[in-house]
Homo-oligomer: A and B are copies of this chain.
Amino acid sequence: MSAPATRKQGKFELEASDGAARAGLLHLAHGSVHTPAFMPVGTQGTVKAVSPEELEALGAEIVLANAYHLYLRPGHELVRRQGGLHKFMNWPRPILTDSGGYQVFSLAKINEVTDEGVWFQSHIDGSRHFITPELVMDIEYALGADVIMALDECPPGRADRETAARAVERTQGWLERCARRLDQLSTGEGSQLLLPVVQGGTFLDLRLESLRRARDLCDWGGFGIGGLSVGEPKQLMYEILEGMSPELPKHGVRYLMGVGYPADLLEAVRLGYDLFDCVAPTRNGRNGTAFTSAGPVNVKLAAWRDDVSPIEAGCGCWTCRSYSRAYIRHLFVAEELLGLRALSIHNLYFLTELMRQARAAICEGRLSGWVDGWTERYVS
C-alpha cells in the first residue's frame, strides 16, 4: 500500500506576503491558527506552570506536546483511553506533537540506530525501548494531535556531510513508513496532518535533496525543518533557511522546529517560516528571566526591588496587568510558585504578541523595516 498522492488534512491559507514573509491561516481539526505563530511547549501534556485558560488568554492558538515524553509517561494508550490528549490536558484547541526523534537523539541514551529504528534507554528509568516510524505513528495517532510529525534522525548541529547525508536518507525511509502506517491506522480518513521533517544539517544541497525527495512522495500540507538551532553558527542557520525558503511549497505551512529566541523568530519570519516552538519562554521564565523589548532581564535585579512599574510598560499580559516588578522580584527571592507562573505567562505572551505584530506588519507590507527597528532595540 502506497501513501496517497495528496494529504487533505488541514489547510494552509496564505493571506498576505511581504518579501519572503507570509501571513496565513492554518485550518486544523480543532480550530485555526493565525501564522506566523509561536507554539508554547507542553512537553508532558502541560505547558509548565501555565493553565490552558491562561494559554488561551495570552493568545496561544496551538500548543506542542512531546510524543517521546508522553509515550514513556503516562503512555500513549493511557492518553487514548482518557479520550485523547486534548481532553486529557483540557486544551480544546489545536495541538502539534513532535515525533520524539529529537528527544531520542538528545535526551535518551542511544543504544543502536538502524534503518529499522532506534534502540534507546529512557532518560527516566533507563528502561530499554525500540522506536520505529510505525511506533511513532501509533503514539501520535493515539494522542490525537491535529498536526503530527514524522520520525526523523536528528544529527548534532556540527555533523559532517556524511552523517548529515545518512540522516537525510534514513529520514526519507522513515517518512515513507510513517505515511504508510498512518494510512493504515486512520484508514486514509483521519483528521491528523502529517508533516515530513527536512534534514540535511548545514549543507544546503542536502537540505534541498531532503525536501525534493519528500515532495516526490506526496503533496504534503507543509514541512517541518529539523536539525537547526542545535549548536551550529547562527549565520549558517539563516543561510540554510534563506536557501530553502524559495523551494518550499507556497501553500503549505513551514514549521521551523525548536526556534526560538525573539531575534531568531523574527529573522525566520522574514525568511518565510510560519510556525515555531521553543522551551525558552517558559524555561527562562522559571529561571527568573523576563523577556522585554529591550532584551532579557534578570528579575532579581536590585533595581527592581522597589519598582512599582510592571515588567514592561504597556504590556497587556496578565502578569503586567496584575503585578509590579517589586512583587515579581519578591516572588522569586522568596521562591514562591506564583513567580514561575507569572514569568512564564509574560514570556509566552511576549512571543505571541511578537508574532501578532509581525503578522500585522506583513499584512501591511512593512515587515522588514519593523524587524530592523525591533532588533535594534533588543539587546540579547
Contact = CB atoms under 8 A, between A and B. Distances in A.
Interface of A: 44-46, 48-52, 69, 73-74, 78, 81-83, 88-90, 305-306, 308, 322-324, 326-327, 329-331, 333-334, 336-338, 340-341
A210 B341 CA distance: 45
B338 A73 contact: no
A92 to B, nearest CB: 11
23 contacts: A44-B334, A45-B330, A46-B331, A46-B336, A49-B337, A49-B338, A50-B338, A51-B341, A73-B330, A73-B334, A74-B329, A74-B330, A78-B305, A78-B326, A81-B306, A82-B306, A82-B308, A82-B324, A88-B324, A88-B326, A88-B327, A337-B340, A341-B341
A74 B326 contact: yes
B333 A74 contact: yes
A26 to B, nearest CB: 26
Candidate in A44, A73, A333 with the most chain B CB atoms within 10 angstroms: A44
Contacts of A324: 82, 88
Contacts of A329: 74
A83 B309 CA distance: 12
A326 B46 contact: no
A338 B48 CA distance: 7
A139 to B, nearest CB: 16
Candidate in A48, A50, A73, A341 with the most chain B CB atoms within 10 angstroms: A341
Given A74-B305, A78-B326, A90-B323, A46 B333 contact: no
A74 B306 CA distance: 9
Contacts of A69: 334
Contacts of A78: 305-306, 326
Contacts of A308: 81-83
Contacts of A330: 44-45, 73-74, 88
Nearest to A333: B73
A305 B82 CA distance: 10
B338 A46 contact: yes
Contacts of A49: 337-338
Contacts of A73: 330, 333-334
A157 to B, nearest CB: 28
A45 to B, nearest CB: 7
A305 to B, nearest CB: 7
Contacts of A51: 338, 341
Contacts of A327: 45, 82, 88-90
Contacts of A44: 330, 334, 336
A326 B48 contact: no
A112 B330 CA distance: 30
Nearest to A69: B334
Contacts of A334: 44, 69, 73-74
A91 to B, nearest CB: 10
A48 B336 contact: yes
Contacts of A50: 338
Contacts of A48: 336-338
